[in-house]
């Protein structure tokens, strides 16, 4: 049982390049999330999904797109990378539902640098 | 002003010490509260949920004061392995409004 996995772990991009970050979970969770973490800012929600085929914007969605074609996968795309997108990206998943204490399980993170 | 605020620290304490962290939140519609732990260059992991009546898990005690809109975490008998960043997390009503504090760094010294 791998939990939540993310690929790649590290990536360096040049301004204007595109890339896709892959998140996979094997816990049969309905909900999945993408966050970015910057020094002094805490984790900020980029996009989230409440089920296969659905996505929604979070707090900082600009410059990112997502897709959830399969329940276990949640992809984060950067169409034209900018230095401001240099960050650590975390994917998370949770069971979902109405339980307000629903725990989020995080992947190990992707460290992205945009030059 | 940030919706969830924490003292960034760092807190430097000797082994065996008791240390307390506070977290304040500004949105009164906040529904659920949590403490997560994040080790250096690792992902956050749930430490404990915070209930209105207060709750304890071994050496860790969490308390919630809704009237004053703050949450606290008390660590007793600190261990070297407690060195980490502690994230205060608030979930607002309406779902998917999970707000993470920037974290408080703790260093426990031998």
- Across the interface, whether the CB atoms of B45 and A106 are under 8 A apart is answered yes
pLDDT of A104 higher than 60: yes
Cβ contact A50:A60 at 8 Å: no
Per-residue pLDDT reduced to its tens digit, B29-56: 777 899 999 999 999 999 999 988 889 9
A47-72: per-residue pLDDT in tens? Answer: 999 999 999 999 899 999 999 999 99
| Minimal CA separation from A61 to chain B, in Å | 14
Chain A, 75-94: which have a CB under 8 Å from a chain B CB?
Answer: 90
Cβ neighbours of B102 in A, within 8 Å: 40-42
How many angstroms separate the CA of residue B76 from the nearest CA in chain A? Answer: 25
Give the C-alpha separation, B18 to B98, whole Å.
29
Q: Between the CA of residue B11 and those of B49, B55, B71, B78, what are the distances in Å?
A: 22, 23, 17, 12
b/e map of A83-95 (b: 16 or more CB within 10 Å)? eebbbbbbbbbbe
Q: Which residues of B touch A58 (CB under 8 A)?
A: 96
Burial of A71 (0-12, 13-18, 19+ CB in 10 A): middle
What's the average model confidence in pLDDT over B13-23?
A: 97
Mean pLDDT (whole number) for A37-51: 91
Q: If DSSP codes are grouped into helix, strand and coil, which group holds residue A84? A: helix
Chain B residues within 8 angstroms (CB to CB) of chain A: 2, 4, 8, 31-32, 34, 41-46, 49, 87, 91, 96, 98-103
Tokens of A101: 């204490």
């Amino acid at each position: 049982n791998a939990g939540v996995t993310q690929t790649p772990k590290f990536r360096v991009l040049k301004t204007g390049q595109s890339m896709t970050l892959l998140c996979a979970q094997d816990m049969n969770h309905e909900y999945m999330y993408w966050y970015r973490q910057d020094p002094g800012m805490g984790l900020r929600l980029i996009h989230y999904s409440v089920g296969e085929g659905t996505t929604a914007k979070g707090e900082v969605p600009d410059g990112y797109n997502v897709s959830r074609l399969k329940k276990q996968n949640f992809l984060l795309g950067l169409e034209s990378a900018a230095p401001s997108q240099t960050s650590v990206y975390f994917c998370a998943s949770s069971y979902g539902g109405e339980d307000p204490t629903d725990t989020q399980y995080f992947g190990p993170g992707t460290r992205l640098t945009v030059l | 002003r940030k919706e969830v605020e924490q003292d960034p620290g760092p807190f430097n304490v000797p082994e065996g010490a008791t240390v307390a962290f506070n977290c304040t939140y500004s949105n009164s519609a906040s529904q659920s509260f949590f403490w997560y732990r994040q080790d250096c260059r690792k992902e956050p992991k749930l430490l404990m949920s915070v209930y209105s009546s207060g709750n304890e898990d071994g050496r860790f005690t969490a308390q919630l004061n809704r009237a004053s809109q703050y949450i606290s975490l008390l660590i007793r008998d600190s261990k070297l392995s407690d060195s980490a960043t502690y994230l205060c997390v608030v979930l607002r009503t309406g779902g998917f409004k999970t707000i993470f504090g920037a974290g408080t760094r703790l260093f426990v010294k031998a």
